[in-house]
């Protein structure tokens, strides 16, 4: 199916990601039907779209007429899945990260959506092949993975499952471009795709450092903000959701290696209902809005390149597996995080001997074999 045949989009799930994805499609002029399981959830999602659009209009980033058009004609809401899917040419699912739930929804979407429609999942980590297997059209199922906040973050990972057709991938890629995003093709269906998988290694490092009590969350965040990150890792975990991060880490642990497992303090926060921004408490207090990180508390005891070292190492595993190229890694990392540089271009300045030695030390110090240098790093293959 060509891009021209996408006239109407349905977004399933009106939460943090779903409302943002709908907003992006609306801004590109697509009529969007936004679905959630109850009226309160879907209306909350619609409210967040309007609040965001108004903010963007105030800043002159979108014309007021575009906001009016969304309000009067482009956005529809529903709590009826069949009504959402029946006229859609592209359905994007953004429901909670529970595989059985996603498979159930995909089976229903397969029944309700027109035969030509593409079915996309915004899953953060899960197998598009397994999700697509719940349908009778696995060739028309793909991943379209957005980043939070979807309206601001440029990256969309376009994920090919074992069964996705070339045609579906090309249309998904063209759609991501049409809505103003930077698409990166994920050539193989692998846990966490590119950005979340590369980040999994640095997340494991940050959580281990915090868990050990070596450095306080605010001291770590302040330090990394000072060296150029828009948000430190602890604030970002709160922003994305402690529960989401927990599930992402758990998924990697189950699929790849126990070293990626969420640290005990993350598990504790989930048990206590401290889910970050959405619950008002996480690493920080969000009850009065975004926490003010005190930059004067920045630690002096953290080497700023440590997260980069482990990210480069992790990325070489993806390159080795044929998931993406070295260049794709940086496109994905820059456009998903707002960081000014990607790990691989930083890595070009680091010799393979230094990188190998630092990774060996990290693996030994934190007893995590996932940090051990790959063969590609040992041979200098991280540079190209």
Beta-carbon contacts of 28 under 8 Å, excluding residues fewer than 6 positions away, are 178, 179, 180
Residue 221 CB, nearest distance to ligand 3HC (Å)? 11
CA dihedral (9, 11, 14, 20) positive or negative? negative
Which of residues 240, 308, 315, 331 is near ligand 3HC by CB under 6 A? 240
Q: How many helices (H) and strands (E) does the chain have?
A: 17, 8
The answer to whether 118 touches 166, Cβ cutoff 8 Å, is: no
- Subset of 344-373 contacting ligand 3HC (CB under 6 A): none
Residue 290 binds ligand 3HC, judged by CB under 6 A? yes
- Subset of 30-69 contacting ligand 3HC (CB under 6 A): 52, 55-56
**Which range, of 83-91, 110-118, 142-150, 315-323, touches ligand 3HC by CB under 6 A?**
142-150
3-state secondary structure of 228: coil
Residue 356 CB, nearest distance to ligand 3HC (Å)? 28
CA-based nearest residue to 259, from 204, 202, 341, 195: 204
Residue 155 backbone dihedrals phi, psi, to 5 degrees:
-75, 140
Nearer to ligand 3HC by Cβ, of 51 and 364: the residue is 51
Nearer to ligand 3HC by Cβ, of 106 and 286: the residue is 286
The enclosing H or E element of 364 equals helix 352-365
Residue 127 binds ligand 3HC, judged by CB under 6 A? no
Q: Tell me the C-alpha distance between 141 and 135, whole Å.
A: 8
Residue 306 CB, nearest distance to ligand 3HC (Å)? 18
**Which range, of 164-172, 211-219, 229-237, 296-304, touches ligand 3HC by CB under 6 A?**
229-237
Question: x/- site string to ligand 3HC, residues 148 to 177, per CB under 6 A?
Answer: xx-xxx------------------------
Residue 341 binds ligand 3HC, judged by CB under 6 A? no
Known catalytic residue at 145: yes
Q: Tell me the C-alpha distance between 33 and 357, whole Å.
A: 53
Known catalytic residue at 124: yes
Which of residues 147, 206, 260, 309 is near ligand 3HC by CB under 6 A? 147
Q: Tell me the C-alpha distance between 34 and 84, whole Å.
A: 7
Residue 111 CB, nearest distance to ligand 3HC (Å)? 27
Q: Which of 23, 93, 97, 157 is catalytic?
A: 157
Count of residues that bind ligand 3HC according to CB under 6 A: 21
Gyration radius from the chain CA atoms: 21
206: left (phi over 0), alpha (psi -120 to 50) or beta: alpha
Known catalytic residue at 54: no
3-state secondary structure of 142: strand
Residue 337 binds ligand 3HC, judged by CB under 6 A? yes
Q: Which of 52, 127, 145, 336 is catalytic?
A: 145
**Which range, of 85-93, 143-151, 178-186, 214-222, touches ligand 3HC by CB under 6 A?**
143-151
Known catalytic residue at 336: no
Residue 193 CB, nearest distance to ligand 3HC (Å)? 9
- Subset of 192-221 contacting ligand 3HC (CB under 6 A): 196
Structural tokens at position 348: 């070009």
Which of residues 161, 336, 356, 358 is near ligand 3HC by CB under 6 A? 336
Residue 105 CB, nearest distance to ligand 3HC (Å)? 18
DSSP state of 138: G
Residue 236 binds ligand 3HC, judged by CB under 6 A? yes
C-alpha 243, offset from chain centre: 14
Q: How far is CA 277 from CA 17, 77, 244, 248, in A?
A: 14, 25, 12, 17
Token look-up 């930083």 returns 346
Beta strand ranges found along the chain (DSSP E) = 9-12, 32-35, 75-78, 90-93, 118-121, 141-145, 155-159, 182-186
The answer to whether 26 touches 92, Cβ cutoff 8 Å, is: no
Which of residues 244, 298, 324, 331 is near ligand 3HC by CB under 6 A? 244
Residues in contact with ligand 3HC by the rule CB under 6 A: 52, 55-56, 124, 147-149, 151-153, 196, 230-231, 236, 240, 244, 248, 290, 336-338
Catalytic residues: 124, 145, 157, 196
């Amino acid at each position: 199916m060509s891009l021209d045949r996408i006239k109407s989009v349905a977004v399933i799930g009106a939460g943090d990601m779903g409302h943002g994805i709908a907003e992006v499609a609306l801004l590109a002029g697509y009529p969007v039907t936004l679905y959630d399981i109850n009226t309160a959830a879907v209306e909350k999602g619609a409210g967040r779209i309007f609040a965001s659009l108004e903010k963007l209009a105030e800043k002159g980033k979108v014309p007021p007429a575009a906001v009016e058009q969304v309000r009067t004609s482009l956005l529809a809401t529903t709590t009826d899945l069949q009504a959402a899917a029946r006229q859609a040419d592209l359905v994007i699912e953004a429901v909670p990260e529970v595989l059985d739930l996603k498979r159930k929804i995909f089976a229903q979407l397969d029944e309700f959506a027109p035969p030509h429609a593409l079915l996309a999942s915004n899953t953060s980590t899960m197998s598009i092949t397994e999700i697509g297997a719940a349908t009778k059209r696995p060739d028309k199922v793909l991943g379209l993975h957005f980043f939070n906040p979807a309206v601001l973050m440029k990256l969309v990972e376009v994920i090919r499952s074992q069964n996705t057709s070339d045609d579906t991938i090309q249309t998904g890629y063209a759609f991501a471009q049409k809505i103003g995003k930077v698409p990166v093709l994920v050539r193989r269906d692998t846990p966490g795709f590119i950005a979340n998988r590369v980040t999994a290694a640095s997340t494991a490092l940050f959580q281990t450092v915090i868990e050990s009590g070596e450095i306080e969350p605010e001291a770590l965040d302040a330090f990394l903000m000072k060296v150029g990150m828009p948000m430190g890792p602890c604030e970002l975990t709160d922003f994305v959701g402690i529960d989401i991060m927990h599930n992402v880490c758990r998924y990697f642990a189950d699929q790849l290696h126990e070293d990626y497992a969420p640290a005990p303090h993350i598990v504790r926060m989930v048990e206590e209902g401290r889910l970050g921004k959405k619950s008002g408490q996480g690493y920080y207090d969000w009850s009065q809005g975004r926490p003010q990180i005190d930059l004067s508390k920045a630690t002096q005891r953290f080497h700023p390149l440590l997260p980069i070292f482990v990210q480069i190492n992790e990325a070489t595993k993806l390159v080795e597996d044929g998931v993406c190229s070295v260049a794709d890694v940086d496109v994905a990392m820059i456009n998903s995080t707002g960081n000014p540089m990607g790990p691989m271009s930083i890595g070009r300045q680091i010799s393979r001997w230094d990188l190998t030695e630092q990774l060996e030390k990290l693996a030994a110090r934190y007893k995590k074999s996932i940090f051990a240098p790959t063969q590609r790093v040992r041979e200098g293959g991280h540079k190209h």
